């Protein structure tokens, strides 16, 4: 149907129907390639946004954990305790004063 409409339009403009068909095929190929490229770009950018969101969440969680640990560390030192870095907790009093 589209080819018939295109052929009639080509006759009105004085263009050969064969040339009009070739042009129509080229336009259809260009539209299909553009659509495929758009789909690829959408999927790619969607994945990038999801990954960026995941990394930002991990960073935020690490910052919150670091702040909580530093407060615990500071509280441990204020209470004259010894901070155990391996266990990430206060290991009691520092012992005797020298």
DSSP annotation of 1 reads -
What are the tens digits of pLDDT across the range 13-62? 888 877 877 887 888 899 899 999 999 988 888 888 889 999 999 999 99
pLDDT of residue 92: 67
CA distances from 94 to 43, 74, 76 (A): 57, 14, 10
Please tell me the distance from the alpha carbon of residue 79 to that of residue 87, in angstroms, as a whole number: 18
Strands (E), 1-98: 81-84, 89-93
Domain boundaries, the chain: 26-92
pLDDT of residue 96: 46
Residue 97 pLDDT greater than 70, yes or no: no
| CA atoms in the 13 A half-sphere facing the CB of 96 | 1
């Amino acid at each position: 149907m589209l080819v018939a409409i295109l052929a009639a339009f080509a006759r009105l403009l004085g263009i050969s129907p064969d040339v009009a068909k070739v042009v129509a095929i080229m336009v259809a190929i260009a539209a299909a390639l553009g659509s495929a490229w758009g789909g690829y770009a959408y999927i790619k950018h969607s994945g990038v946004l999801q990954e960026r969101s995941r990394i930002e969440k991990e960073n935020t969680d690490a910052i919150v954990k670091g702040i909580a640990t530093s407060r615990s560390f500071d509280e441990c030192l204020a209470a004259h305790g010894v901070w155990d870095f391996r266990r990430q907790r206060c290991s009691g009093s520092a012992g005797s004063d020298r």
